[in-house]
Amino acid sequence: MTDWQTMTAADLGRGIAKGDIDPVELTQSFLDAIDAHPYRDRIYARVTPDRALAEAKAAQERARLKLRRSPLDGVPVSWKDLFDTAGTVTEAGSKLLEGRTPDSDAEVLQAATHHGLACLGKTHLSELAFSGLGLNPKTATSPNIHNPDNAPGGSSSGAATSVAFGLAPAAIGSDTGGSVRVPAAWNDLVGLKTTSGVLSLKGAVPLAAKFDTVGPLCKSVEDAALLFAVMKGEGAIDLTPTSLKGKRLAILTTTAFDDIREDPRKGFDHAVQRFRDAGAEIVDIAIPEVETAMALSAILYSSEAYGTWKDVIEANPDIMFAEILARFRSGKDFTAADYVAAWQTLERCRAIYAQATASFDAVLCPTCPITPPNVERLMTDSAYYVTENLLTLRNTRIGNLMGLPVLTLPTGTASCGVSLMANPRDERRLLRLGLAAEAALA
């Protein structure tokens, strides 16, 4: 039997379509792998075997009748524990929500289930999704694929590691400031941050709703494209082989290379050279408005996050991880006038960015300027925690602030990704471009 744990979700789906893979056996194999794994409880907050096997059984019958609902019908996936699951606890990595049990599934989970995906369970995350490091001493800190003592990236930490350790073919996470792309990059996966509003957030525990997005973490661009289509409830994206030849790509020099460390720079330079070798035209571009927007991050993110959670937090602040609590509370001192003015400035920056990048197929930057830091030092050195957390999310936040879809791909240097940023709501073209970029990097 082929090792299903190493296959892409798309390949598993093709195996089901051909009759070579039975969805029930496939799902049971992942459930068995989860239960046998030493990091099971650091990756999964809870496993849902009854649901997964019932959904796999239905997929098995559809496959027998040649009535499969999507290319991924019968493939099991994991879900970040901020997507509501009917009758199953959903706590968003926080003791503040302990025992919270929703009555219905999140809309994206409903869509995925309708298209035949089986829910393996819920994965750990940073507390209330408010950290790019993936460090969560209140529930669990997932292990990094390269070194279990290093941070996994967050906030979709368990999502990434469930795939990296072979405990799910693919995972669904969320991204507010980098929470899909950082853990994808640090665990050598493909991650897609979608445009805000493109995929439903109904039934997803919010952090900062104006920036919150849903996105897959997986082993290939094809997987990302199939999962995006499934969650959007649309037909599969045309993934006919394409090329980078003649494509115009820009390297964003503003902010993205400040304080970058050796390995991320090395991985990025390697990726750029491969894209050039594949025929892409690549030029540097500076957009000062990106720096202007970055300076507004504290107002925009912390104000909304604290405004959303202040009553819950202040009712029981002592049960929170101190670093996350401090980050939330940093939003309480901004005025409504500050917040409104910041959004007006951001909209102007977005318009200038759109004009400056209109002639390019995508804008490139290193996904993260640092590699995974050591968890023990993060826990004992507060200044180090703050510095590393801010740097971790620095580059990814550009895509959120500019309102863009972004795809991160592994560069071949461990824990280092390259990001391709496209125009708002242009996910389908970005994924086709990503397919060509992935081929160039192979």
Q: Which residues are catalytic?
A: 80, 155, 179
Distance CA 47, CA 122 (A): 6
Strands (E), 106-260: 118-123, 171-175, 190-193, 213-218, 248-252
Q: Coil, strand, or helix at residue 19? A: coil
Q: Which of 307, 292, 312, 298 is nearest to 390 (CA)?
A: 298
Which residues, 6 or more positions from 247, have their beta carbon under 8 angstroms from its beta carbon? 279, 280, 281, 361, 362, 433, 436
- Per-residue tokens: 28: 């049971």
Strands (E), 8-75: 44-47
Distance CA 16, CA 94 (A): 37
- Per-residue tokens: 274: 């491969």
| Residue positions counted in the chain | 442
Q: Which of 119, 122, 248 is nearest to 173 (CA)?
A: 122
Q: What are phi and psi of 63, to 5 degrees?
A: -65, -40
Under DSSP, the state recorded for 372 is: P
